[in-house]
Structure 1
Amino acid sequence: MSRRALPFRTPGDEAVKAQQWVLVVDGEGFELPEALPDWDYQMSLHLRNEVHVDLDAVHASTGLTPDAKLSLVVVWTATGSGLRGTAQRVPLSGEGAHTVELDVELSGTQLGGLLTLDTQLVLAESRETGAIASPRRGGSVLWTHTRTLYLQGDAPQFPIAVVDFEATQLPTDSAWHVQLSEELNTATMGALLLLVNERKKPVVTAFQNAASPRPIDKVYLAAAYADIARTMIEHALADPDFNHDSEYAEDSLGATLQSLLENLFPHMSVQHLRQRREQSPNLFATEIQAAVSIFEEA
């Protein structure tokens, strides 16, 4: 197994030790599992961890001196959204042993797919001088601990934002609006957004209860899902370059649209669907209702 060789000295295993990540639910901590099958984009993640850093051992193994400015950083990456960010940054300096309490909260609307948490010890500022082969460039990663979590649920798999349509150009009496990017190779979670009108309280409540909906919630969700499917299908068919054989990046909007059409119309080509839409758009909209089984379980 090959190992990447860094151009500077790094701490030994005894210098920096991370504990296991903990998922916090209603104030109670649980060991973070490999996957969250009931997760949806309404669910933010509250996570905690503890990292022990022996700065004396770090300095001895890297050649850095006690005046070196270090930081313990938590970086998250989500394949579903294609997004990446810094969840927490804790400065470290001086000598002796330190216990760093990490406490991060990640918004569900930015996540999806495979979530990767990289806990890193980095050199916070560049240094002009130092021991031979000691790290000198600011941002150099001296140590990393990686943890992954697969997020997959049965609730709607796209980001949702609740906004006041009065403050937008959208019709104030509408319940929701689907925003779609024209660039089909963009990550789906960054290319698709469902806006829900906060003035439509029953609809907002239905989406909040999407993971465990009441009978009335199922009615609103069924109507919304049918309309969202129709919007996405028409968006795909309106693009002359879109086809089942088109190559799109994994987790991209184009790949999502291909999957949607294959699931709803498994025996029809894109060209045939385009023709049906052009010849009888009203009938085609009704066929989409049938394909999504609207109100079947309401």
Structure 2
Amino acid sequence: MVPWDYFLDSTVSSWISIDEAAFLESTGLPTTAGVLAVMQVDCRATGLRKMVAIQLPGGDVPALLQVHLGPHQCAQQIEVTHAILLDRTSQEDAVDLVAFRRGSRLLTSMATHRFLLEGSASTFPTEAFDFGPAGLPPDAAWKLQFDPESLDEPYLGAVRLFINSSHPSAPELLSGRPSLTQSVLFHSIVEHLLLIVAERFPAEAQSEYQADSVGEALEHLAKVYLGVPLTAAISLLVQDRAETICRLQAATSFLAANSR
């Protein structure tokens, strides 16, 4: 199995089959014509939803459903569900207890299949590649991509940490082991996230946020490393950025060899 990462092109595949005679008897339909097999893939962390629908073959023949997931589209985990829908409207079938409207759900799988992509401790989704060929400064160690449109946007879909795989510090940065380099990286990320939010959304901070959103993630960082809610952290950064960053250095153990 190829290890999953954010650059990976992947495909979710599933076979669906039915007992045609039992299906027609239970639904009251005369034929499987106009009946679709549907697979839906959701990633709550990034807000992704993709669906595929194909004609359900008759004669008990299995049908293959496939959904392509491109790079950067998913994080944390995906959920896969299945259904069978009617794709036609027929007044001839409009009798008691027989579905006849297009879009009628004939069968929904009771199971939701969840696939864990990156474990449960991914605070900053990370990708490693050679910066030079990608048009980034070849001597830079990392780049943080953080461009949210709102505080309610899914956090894991809004943030990406890029590590320059050709940089001498790349192995240390990717190892996750406490080190001086890790402390600098971590402080840089937290500072960057808080400053971006303070500059873009000074009036949008609130006391509660949607689960797994940018607001919830930054609320947590503000409370842990500045000891105040995000609303207060934004005020501190606006009123006295230098002192607030100084406090953040102390809280994140900046330049401490045994931190992070």
User: Within 2, Cα distance between the matches of 1:206 and 1:155?
Assistant: 18
Asked if residue 196 in structure 1 is aligned to residue 162 in structure 2, the reply is yes
Contact 1:121 1:141 in 2 (8 A): yes
Q: What pairs up with 1:282-293 in 2 under 5 angstroms?
A: 283-293=243-253
Which residue identity is paired with 1:83?
Answer: L
Query: Is this contact kept in 1: 2:182–2:259, CA < 8 A?
Result: no
State the distance in 1 between where 2:169 and 2:73 align: 19
Alignment of 1:198-213 (within 5 A): 201-202=166-167, 206=171, 210=174, 213=175
Q: Contact 2:41–2:78 at 8 Å: present in 1 too?
A: yes
Question: Per-residue deviation at 1:97?
Answer: 1.9
2:98 to 110, 134, 155: 134
Quote the Cα distance in structure 2 between the aligned partners of 1:137 and 1:219: 64
- In structure 1, the residue matched to 2:107 is 143
Aligned to 1:79: 44
Given the alignment of the two structures, is residue 226 of structure 1 paired with residue 187 of structure 2, yes or no?
Answer: yes
Q: Retained in 2: the 8 A contact 1:66–1:93?
A: no
Retained in 1: the 8 A contact 2:147–2:159? yes
> 1:252 — aligned with what?
213
Structure 1 residue 76, shift from structure 2 partner? 1.8
| Correspondence for 1:122 among 85, 99, 102 | 85
2:195 maps to amino acid:
E
From 202, 225, 236, the equivalent of 1:240 is 202
Alignment gaps of 5+ in structure 2: none
Question: What is the deviation of 1:261?
Answer: 0.6
| Structure holding more strand per residue | 1
**2:12, 2:67 within 8 Å by CA — same for their partners in 1?**
yes
Structure 1 residue runs without a partner (length 5+): 1-24, 28-38
Letter in 1 for 2:99: P
Letter in 1 for 2:56: L
Q: Tell me the amino acid that sits aligned with residue 130 of structure 1.
A: E
Instruction: Give the conservation status (yes or no) of the 8 Å contact 2:139–2:167.
Output: no
Question: Secondary structure, in 3 states, of the residue corresponding to 2:46?
Answer: coil
Give how far 1:235 is off: 2.4
Residues 1:153 and 2:116 aligned together: no
Task: Indicate the SS of the match to 2:219.
Answer: helix
Decide whether aligned partners of structure 1 residues 137 and 182 sit closer, same or farther in structure 2, where only a CA change above 3 A counts: same
- Write the deviation string for residues 236-264 of structure 1: whole angstroms up to 9, x where unpaired: 33333255x53322222112111111121
Q: 1:204 to 1:102 in 2, by over 3 A?
A: farther
1: distance between equivalents of 2:21 and 2:169?
53
State how far apart, in whole Å, the 2-side matches of 1:240 and 1:137 are. Answer: 49
Deviations 1:197-246 (A, max 9, x none): 76x53489659x95xx276x966654433222111111233333255x53
Aligned residue for 1:53, secondary structure, equals coil
Alignment length (residue pairs): 251
Residues 92 and 272 from structure 1, CA distance in 2 versus in 1: closer, same or farther, beyond 3 angstroms?
closer
Q: Say yes or no: does 1:52 pair with 2:52.
A: no
AA paired with 2:211? E
Q: Distance in 2 between matches of 1:277 and 1:110?
A: 33
- What SS does the corresponding residue of 2:114 show, helix, strand or coil? strand
Q: 1:121 to 1:183 in 2, by over 3 A?
A: same
Partner amino acid for 1:176?
K
Q: State the superposition RMSD in angstroms.
A: 4.2
Contact persistence 2:187–2:252 (CA under 8 A): yes
TM-score by length of 2: 0.71
